[in-house]
Amino acid sequence: MAESERRAGTSEEMAPPLQQSFMIPKKEINMVSDMAKWKRSQAYADYMGFILTLNEGVRGKKLTCEYKVSEPIEKLVALLNTLDRWIDETPPVDQPSRFGNKAFRTWYAKLDQEAEKLVATVIPKHLADAAPEVAVYLKESVGNSTRIDYGTGHEAAFAAFLCCLCKIGVLRVDDQMAIVFKVFNRYLEVMRKLQKTYRMEPAGSQGVWGLDDFQFLPFIWGSSQLIDHPNLEPRHFVDEKVVNENHKDFMFLECILFITEMKTGPFAEHSNQLWNISAVPSWSKVNQGLIRMYKAECLEKFPVIQHFKFGSLLPIQPVTS
């Protein structure tokens, strides 16, 4: 192979994807009848594909196991650490209402201002044009600053943010475990801190009939982690001792621990859906059931998806086979 060809090859790998014109994502789902457009969209196919790929990637693996941590993963964790530090710098204010502390708006205003700069620290120079598009999903992923609430639609925006980073090649196939165990797990910690610090309302919560007030994805990926576990069965996650001993290894149990910290009274009453799930015989059945439930209760619900934004990376256009 000639030297000039070799050089061309390497420079090509470094070059931006051809004809990729980025855009600021915008709302496309304005009425219930638009939901059909969403389900047929390239965005839906790519988003769901991403969730399922990660679901397979963490199957049977503990949070504490060994996995590759690339530079972009480290940079994403640093970004989340910055958001965490801003919470410390923005203490809740004294106000008459117990929920929805207005200091969240101050915290959010900072993210709104800095999001593009933060994203630019994660993506290489030749992809700098992607930062404004990708940053929109980051801003959407932390809750609503008007209502001071947080829910599965915000969580979906964070998964979309990570999906976009995969689509532009910042995150790669061998980052799968680190995406869930390092980045998404850190995101969950920061969101729990936001929820606690600013007493955020659950967005569109179904109360006792929903799976959880705030999250859904860690239950999916967390149940996949537990598939074929030699001695932990679904019935064990309602056992406090089991949760206390194993939550550092399994995302699902970490979620259960957070629920029991936040809620009082019998588990079967405050988390009826999860209580029912504990009767399912195997983790693979739990995992399949949760994926179906996620599609039905989150991705196919207009109040959740009406806020989703579409751009060049997650397009509203129908799937091209």
Positions in the chain short of pLDDT 50: 1-18
Instruction: Output the six-digit token pair for 187.
Output: 């995101």
Q: Which are the contacts of 115, defined by CB distance < 8 A and separation ≥ 6?
A: 135, 136, 138, 139
**Is 46:319 a contact under the CB 8 Å cutoff?**
no
**Is 140:157 a contact under the CB 8 Å cutoff?**
yes
8 located within any domain: no
Distance CA 38, CA 240 (A): 40
53 located within any domain: yes
CATH number where 176 lies: 1.20.120.1150
23 located within any domain: no
Report the relative pairing of strands 26-27 and 309-310 from DSSP bridges: antiparallel
Q: What's the confidence (pLDDT) of residue 208?
A: 65
191 located within any domain: yes
Q: What's the confidence (pLDDT) of residue 49?
A: 97
92 located within any domain: yes
131 located within any domain: yes
Distance CA 283, CA 224 (A): 7
Distance CA 61, CA 58 (A): 5
166 located within any domain: yes
Give the number of domains in the chain.
Answer: 1
SS (H, E, C) the chain: CCHHHHHHHHHHHHCCCCCCCCCCCEECCCCHHHHHHHHHEHHHHHHHHHHHHHHHHCCCCCCCCCCCCCHHHHHHHHHHHHHHHHHHHCCCCCCCCCCCCCHHHHHHHHHHHHHHHHHHCCCCHHHHHHHHHHHHHHHHCCCECCCCEECHHHHHHHHHHHHHHHHCCCCCHHHHHHHHHHHHHHHHHHHHHHHHHCCCEECCCCHHHCCCCCCCHHHHHHHHHCCCCCCCCHHHHHCHHHHHHHCCCCHHHHHHHHHHHHCCCCHHHHCHHHHHHCCCCCHHHHHHHHHHHHHHHHHCCHHHHCCCEECCCCCCCECCC
> Which residue has tokens 């993963």?
73
13 located within any domain: no
Q: What's the confidence (pLDDT) of residue 210?
A: 82
For residue 201, give its domain range: 34-62+69-304
> Which residue has tokens 């929805």?
100
